[in-house]
Chain A
Amino acid sequence: MSEGRRPKIGVVTFPGSLDDRDALRAVRLMGGEGVGLWHADRDLRGVDAVILPGGFSYGDYLRCGAIARFAPIMDEVRGFAEAGGAVVGICNGFQILCEAGLLPGALIRNRQLRFVCRWVDVRVETSVSPLSADLVAGEILRVPVKHGEGQFVASAGDLDRIERDGLVVFRYCSPEGAIDEPHNPNGASNAVAGLRNEAGNVVGLMPHPEHAVDPDVGATGGQPMFASLLSSTLARVSTA
């Protein structure tokens, strides 16, 4: 992180969010300033980027993310995203972004019907996203997943467009980077673990980079993702 201004990264807490504290801590560990945001507020408190964290917002009632998408703060997040601001959805946050229509597709029950909680490897597919700006395609990062409804699906037309436009940011892979069924933890279409929007400023992923920044507790595949978020955010706000 260069000297001077530290990027302010907002983390939204919804009723039922679990990973907001870890996300704030990861931002701090990586050199940013974490700012807590509240679902019922219509105020982003001047942050430079927004994280929608993991958890079970509103008990995941109806569908994961379906109720959270109507929270007052989501109007602000939508406006922020449309203005080009970086928005990152992790796990439940990814589900919320899909429900809100800010990302294509949807996340349904894991194919094997079981909650999955383990380390996975993901392959970077593009550097066009706030979480992969400092990475190159082909890099492999180890991060954990923990979800019951993480199987990415989209209509055939959307899936074609997603691939054609290079919207896949991360794919589940073997430790060597091979894309195959045994290393796909939930049956996701095309092994999609993370996805961006067309503009490249909104990204969602099922794995949890915020749980993989501290070498004392395991792999650190989340570090380069947060480093990318901080440096790309800083670059954006200092040219704005």
Chain B
Amino acid sequence: MNVRFEVLVQLKQGLLDPQGKAIEGSLPAMGWTNVSGVRVGRQVELTIEAESEEAAQAQVEEMAARLLSNPVIEEFQVLRAEQVGR
């Protein structure tokens, strides 16, 4: 079976996100003065062919921990594509 996932990777809370800061800094110039806490992450979509949903889930978690994110600076979240309407 094919199972499609979305992996969301973000800098850990507490680490300054320079991209988020830059976006936050430019919003007031465009008139949006009420925005704070902007953080930029990465979204990876992928399909896994596996025997079962559980096997696919275990594999995507391991891939996210070992390659898609760097545990020193990032945290990740795995979503099933159906959950996000894909």
Contacts and interface: CB of A to CB of B under 8 A. Distances in A.
Are A and B co-members of a single complex? Answer: yes
Interface of A: 62-63, 66, 70, 98-99, 104-106, 108-113, 151, 153-155, 158, 187
A106 B70 contact: yes
Contact of A113 (B18, B67, B70, B73): B18
Given A62-B67, A66-B67, A155 B72 contact: yes
Contacts of B55: none
8 nearest A-B residue pairs (beta carbon): A106-B72, A106-B73, A109-B18, A113-B18, A113-B22, A111-B18, A106-B70, A63-B70
Given A63-B70, A109-B18, A111-B18, 9 more contacts: A66-B67, A66-B70, A70-B67, A106-B72, A106-B73, A108-B18, A109-B19, A111-B16, A187-B16
Interface in B5-40: 11, 15-16, 18-19, 22
Contacts of B67: 62, 66, 70
Interface string B53-86: 0000000000000011010110000000000000
A108 B15 contact: yes
Interface of B: 11, 15-16, 18-19, 22, 67-68, 70, 72-73
A113 B19 contact: yes
10 contacts: A66-B70, A98-B72, A106-B73, A109-B18, A151-B18, A153-B15, A153-B72, A155-B72, A158-B72, A187-B16
Contact of A105 (B18, B68, B72): B72
B19 A62 contact: no
Nearest to A99: B70
Kindly name the residue among A66, A98, A99, A108 whose own CB sees the greatest number of chain B CB atoms within 10 A: A108
Contacts of B72: 98, 104-106, 153-155, 158
Nearest to B42: A62
A62 B70 CA distance: 10
A108 B11 contact: yes
Nearest to B15: A153
Contacts of B22: 113
Contacts of B19: 109, 113
